[in-house]
Structure 1
């Protein structure tokens, strides 16, 4: 059976909508690209409907919340308009500049949609535990390994003992030295990667806080992590590269780095300046 897009569902439900819901439906159909960046209040103001009507509209088409609706819409728009993550990219011979624009669109959509998937309270919890930690380990495989390496590099600059190793057995040794108050940052888009799960469980046994960067959903990693920083689900299971998910992961890691620097920068700024000056001498 062919999967119905969100916009197709709206069209199919037009006869079942109340007058208020119909106004919302027409507005969304005409401004689909703008909707992921709007709130229920924005939709309410733009259509002359109540915020409750916006929520009822979502439920009428079988979606539990406006947040979930926006995520589904972003995915549909990305797949329909700018799909570059699976093998269908070969079906149309776009110019290099067209493909550049598609990559830019997908990456931008991934970052913007993370505003909807990331829980403010979870981010605050992440900030609290990281600032107090002595060790911050990162781990991911495949495309997520790139994000994990970036995280380890950034937090090393802040003076943490921070590491990521592609060798699973080396990571076992590193995790074995974690203690209560340390943080293990597990990165997996699917939340089902076996090596990431095994190391996360080992880190919990050692008393460390497990912080997951994973897509929103009830995956094993999502369920088991102490703190969840969620990315949107914008990719197919079979894809040519983890383009959108890695962009969202890196954005979260950059945010954690800046949040941490904002809180402890006065303690490490002189050392960062020294390292920067030393690096400059090597360029001369």
Structure 2
């Protein structure tokens, strides 16, 4: 199936004059469009906002928001070859790879702007601010983000828990209730251990927050709150790189949101921590 950019390129000769203006701008500046509104794009191309919406429908996409999500998917998958096995056929220097990794990570983080629903982010910040206990769980490449989240939310005074031990968490989840939150991290949204623990926590009344890709995966459907990352890598890959950066980016946003809501009262605890760090330095 053609990508959205390939589709625009192929249909260009069928477009009206107005549609050609929009299509040409998108082909020349695809990386800028995901962060735009219909008003932004209309101003850049000199057409009306309604023309932008009609353009999306002309190429078979129901809305501008859906168009942006498809474009994000297109752009991020273009960079995914950095971590697939085709890299063995390339002759890159370490510095070439450093540049590619940097660009891929940057692209994944920027693409979060379009893949993430701001209302879902607001909901997540609300439940985390008031949570009695938060359990973070991920496997494979998602472990890094889960550990980082647990550390950060511990600093906020929250009872934060992370463990890679599936059976340990099974023994802990029965004590969870509606005051608690289970944060499930999975790039694919199909990892069995993550799905089963999230389902168990939900049955106990805990809120389930999913940090997963923007495809409609089982975890996406199961969660109460969905924080979507862009699709930046294939499932079968050398290792997790840009997808991990997207997860960490969302964790940082949640951490700062809750920190801000806690207010200045929390500063005394941060100062105590800082003083102990200084005292224990060798």
Measured against the shorter chain, the TM-score band is: over 0.9
Gaps of 5+ in 1: none
Secondary structure of 1:32's aligned partner: coil
Match of 2:97 in 1: 99
Q: Which runs of 4+ in 1 moved over 4 A?
A: none
CA contact (8 A) 2:79 2:232 kept: no
Secondary structure of 2:82's aligned partner: coil
State the Cα distance separating 1:185 from its structure 2 match.
Answer: 0.5
Q: 1:177 to 1:267 in 2, by over 3 A?
A: farther
Gaps of 5+ in 2: none
CA contact (8 A) 1:122 1:227 kept: yes
Question: Aligned equivalents of 2:69 and 2:278: distance in 1?
Answer: 44
For residues 145-184 of structure 1, what are the alpha-carbon distances to aligned partners after superposition, in whole Å with 9 as ceiling and x for unaligned? 1111111111111111101101101111222221211111
State the Cα distance separating 1:81 from its structure 2 match.
Answer: 5.6
State the Cα distance separating 1:78 from its structure 2 match.
Answer: 4.1
Match of 2:74 in 1: 76
State the Cα distance separating 1:82 from its structure 2 match.
Answer: 6.9
Question: Aligned equivalents of 2:151 and 2:105: distance in 1?
Answer: 22
Question: Aligned equivalents of 1:195 and 1:55: distance in 2?
Answer: 41
For residues 42-80 of structure 1, what are the alpha-carbon distances to aligned partners after superposition, in whole Å with 9 as ceiling and x for unaligned? 211111111222222222223333333333334434444
Secondary structure of 1:255's aligned partner: helix
Secondary structure of 1:186's aligned partner: strand
CA contact (8 A) 1:74 1:109 kept: no
Given the alignment, which residue of 57, 63, 66 partners 2:64?
66
Match of 2:205 in 1: 207
CA contact (8 A) 2:83 2:239 kept: yes
Q: How many equivalent pairs are there?
A: 282
State the Cα distance separating 1:218 from its structure 2 match.
Answer: 1.6
State the Cα distance separating 1:123 from its structure 2 match.
Answer: 1.2
Given the alignment, which residue of 117, 128, 132 partners 1:119?
117
TM-score, reference length from structure 1: 0.93
State the Cα distance separating 1:14 from its structure 2 match.
Answer: 1.4
Match of 2:39 in 1: 41
**RMSD of the TM alignment (CA)?**
1.7
TM-score, reference length from structure 2: 0.93
Match of 1:131 in 2: 129
After TM superposition, the structure 1 stretch with the greater mean CA deviation from structure 2, 79-88 or 21-30, is 79-88
Question: Aligned equivalents of 2:206 and 2:80: distance in 1?
Answer: 40
After TM superposition, the structure 1 stretch with the greater mean CA deviation from structure 2, 78-87 or 248-257, is 78-87
State the Cα distance separating 1:216 from its structure 2 match.
Answer: 1.3
Question: Aligned equivalents of 1:168 and 1:34: distance in 2?
Answer: 42
CA contact (8 A) 2:80 2:234 kept: no
Q: 1:271 to 1:113 in 2, by over 3 A?
A: same
Match of 2:3 in 1: 5
Secondary structure of 1:13's aligned partner: helix
